Amino acid sequence: MARIGIIGSAGRMGQAIATALADREHDLAGGVDAGGDAASLADRSDALVDFSSPQALEANLHAAIGAGIPLVIGTTGLDEPHHTAIDNAARDVAILQTGNTSLGVTLLAHLAREAASRLGPDWDIEIVEMHHRHKVDAPSGTALLLGEAAAEGRGIDLTANTESGRDGHTGERAAGAIGFAALRGGTVAGDHSVILAGEQERITLSHAAENRMIFARGAVRAAEWLMGKPPGRYTMPEVLNL
């Protein structure tokens, strides 16, 4: 049993995480939302779980370092400077950052990497995601994570090979590109497909989140796993032993 603090506690994920903590008999150390004091929450917590906004990241990293406790970051929409800040903070505390804490997506990323490495570059890779109408970032963190996995499998750099937001006269698809398409609507918790399209055949690897509790349970499992670990940046495959 541990005391765990939630950043973004009043949000959709914050509420699901509070339920997952209770299911595992942890104490909710407290929660903060926009304008809240992450440092004082960290001082009374054994670990922090952050599902909030990229704007909160810097304060959350400082809070975790100040209290010397691990941090799970599920917030998406992070850019390169955010990742550099996480790398730096991981010299002082144990941190896990991921666009998706579910078991299913962690395995899907492995399958995407494997498929991309075994199929030649003439198999086009497209990643399609759908989320609820309230989601503010695109492509989703999960889509980017799946794109990274496919790019790794193929031995290419994702940033240099991304095609997203196609509209109008786009020209032909670039050879070797990894494409992204984002759909928004209704209450969809999170659907992701990695499509590998070859000559007259196509493979689709898909995951559907039926409920946010899959992410919440994964986040709590990650927090449990991080406690007692030395400083470093850890991953969901390590937590889940996949």
Ligand X SMILES: O=C(O)C1=N[C@H](C(=O)O)C[C@H](O)C1
Ligand Y SMILES: NC(=O)C1=CN([C@@H]2O[C@H](COP(=O)(O)OP(=O)(O)OC[C@H]3O[C@@H](n4cnc5c(N)ncnc54)[C@H](OP(=O)(O)O)[C@@H]3O)[C@@H](O)[C@H]2O)C=CC1
Residues that bind ligand Y (CB under 6 A): 7-8, 10-14, 32-34, 36, 51-53, 55-56, 74-77, 98-101, 141, 215
Of 42, 53, 58, nearest to 6 by C-alpha is: 42
Choose the one of ligand X, ligand Y, none that binds residue 131, judging by a C-beta under 5 to 8 angstroms depending on kind: ligand X
CB of 209 to ligand X, least distance (A): 6
Of 138, 179, 134, nearest to 161 by C-alpha is: 179
CB of 168 to ligand X, least distance (A): 26
Select from 52, 106, 142, 193 the one that contacts ligand X (CB under 6 A). 142
Select from 14, 99, 153, 218 the one that contacts ligand X (CB under 6 A). 99
Task: At 213, list the tokens.
Answer: 């509790």
CB of 142 to ligand X, least distance (A): 3
Rounded CA separation 132/149 (Å): 24
Q: Which is catalytic among the residues 62, 82, 131, 207? A: 131
Residue 42 or residue 236: which is nearer to ligand X going by CB?
236
| Residue 100 interacting with ligand X (CB under 6 A) | yes
| Spatial CB neighbours of 173, under 8 Å, sequence gap ≥ 6 | 124, 163, 179
Residue 51 corresponds to which amino acid? F
Residue 112 corresponds to which amino acid? A
| Residue 52 interacting with ligand X (CB under 6 A) | no
Hunting for tokens 């992070």 — which residue is that?
78
Q: Are 49 and 223 in contact (CB under 8 A)?
A: yes
CB of 173 to ligand Y, least distance (A): 28
Task: At 152, list the tokens.
Answer: 């790794």
Query: Annotated catalytic, 229?
Result: no
Q: How many CA atoms lie within 13 A of 169 on its CB side?
A: 0
Site pattern 59..98 for ligand X (x: CB under 6 A): -----------------x----------------------
In this structure, the strands spanning 27-32 and 47-50 are unpaired
Q: What residues make contact with ligand X under the rule CB under 6 A?
A: 76, 99-100, 131, 135, 140-142, 190
Residues annotated in the binding site, as ranges? Answer: 8-13, 74-76, 98-101, 132, 141-142
Catalytic residues: 131, 135
